[in-house]
Amino acid sequence: MYEPYGEEKKSFKIKEKITHLKEKIQGKFRNFNMNTENLKFSKITFTLLAFSLLLVFGSITSYVSKTGQVNKLESDNMILQKQNDACNGELNDVKQKLSTCSSNLENMQSDLTKITLNYQTAQADFQACNEEKLTLSSDLNMVNEDLKKTQDKYDKLKDNYDSLIDDYNIVICNYAKNICGSGGMDYYYLDSNEKVVCCLDENTCAKDPDGKDIQKIEC
């Protein structure tokens, strides 16, 4: 595993201290072997030895602690990097979906604009048709009124015509009765000149009826 530059310096210092302490202890023991009878450890020697041991073990503990912290930081950094990569992937996916939604929204907005224009055009046409319908409805009412008046006039004229026809037929019948009845003939018809022609019966007439309607005198 890669170790930081600062930690590497500390490692060299600790090794130097351990080597130095080792040489010092070995020197003490050599002196002890040479002067076994007169050598006595002083308080300063024990204090120096204890302090050196504390310094060495403290440095080792600090090194181990720092190394553990570095390992933990590297592990946490790796986890965070993976989480960051995952977040970036999700972000790209969301951006892609957002782009698609934006494109669809623009298309829908364009369609909505077209539909709105078509609706406005249809609304204008409907209003124009409705106005024309009202005008035509008014004209139709007027025509219906004129038709009713004309129908009333026609009915009156028809009644007058029917009445005149009845009067005319009565006059013709009375005329035929006077002309034909005096001669013993009970039938008649009108020729092309609207003249009365007497008939003895439906088959015997003074002149060929030539398809004319032969009527009996009943007035």
The token pair that represents 112 in the structure block: 């909505």
Mean pLDDT confidence for 131-146: 89
Residue at a domain's end among 70, 86, 113: 113
Q: Give the 3-state secondary structure of residue 200.
A: coil
Residue at a domain's end among 113, 144, 170: 113
Long-range own/partner contacts, residues 43-50 (CB < 8 A, 24 or more apart) = 49/25
Does one domain contain both 108 and 9? yes
State the pLDDT at residue 210: 82
Mean pLDDT confidence for 22-45: 51
Question: What's the angle, vertex CA 136, arms to CA 130 and CA 139, rounded to 5?
Answer: 145
Does one domain contain both 10 and 104? yes
Mean pLDDT confidence for 97-105: 87
State the pLDDT at residue 54: 60
The token pair that represents 170 in the structure block: 């009565």
Residues contacting 190, CB < 8 A, separation 6+: 172, 196, 197, 212
Going by pLDDT thresholds of 50, 70 and 90, the confidence category of residue 62 is low
- The Cα–Cα gap between 183 and 200 comes to 9
Task: Classify residue 141: in a domain, yes or no.
Answer: no
Phi, psi of 189 (to 5 degrees): -155, 165
**Residue 15 scores a pLDDT above 80:** no
**Residue 187 scores a pLDDT above 90:** yes
**Residue 5 scores a pLDDT above 50:** no
Could you give the dihedral angle defined by the CA atoms of residues 66, 67, 71 and 76, in that order, rounded to the nearest 10 degrees? Answer: 0
Task: Classify residue 78: in a domain, yes or no.
Answer: yes
State the pLDDT at residue 59: 58
Task: Classify residue 132: in a domain, yes or no.
Answer: no
Which pTM does this prediction carry? 0.38
Domain that includes residue 210, residue range: 180-216
Q: What is the mean pLDDT of the chain?
A: 77
Q: Between 67 and 25, where is the model more confident?
A: 67
State the pLDDT at residue 204: 84
Does one domain contain both 189 and 100? no
Task: Classify residue 155: in a domain, yes or no.
Answer: no
Does one domain contain both 95 and 195? no
Task: Classify residue 150: in a domain, yes or no.
Answer: no
Number of continuous H segments (helices) and E segments (strands) in the chain: 2, 3
User: How many folded domains does the chain comprise?
Assistant: 2
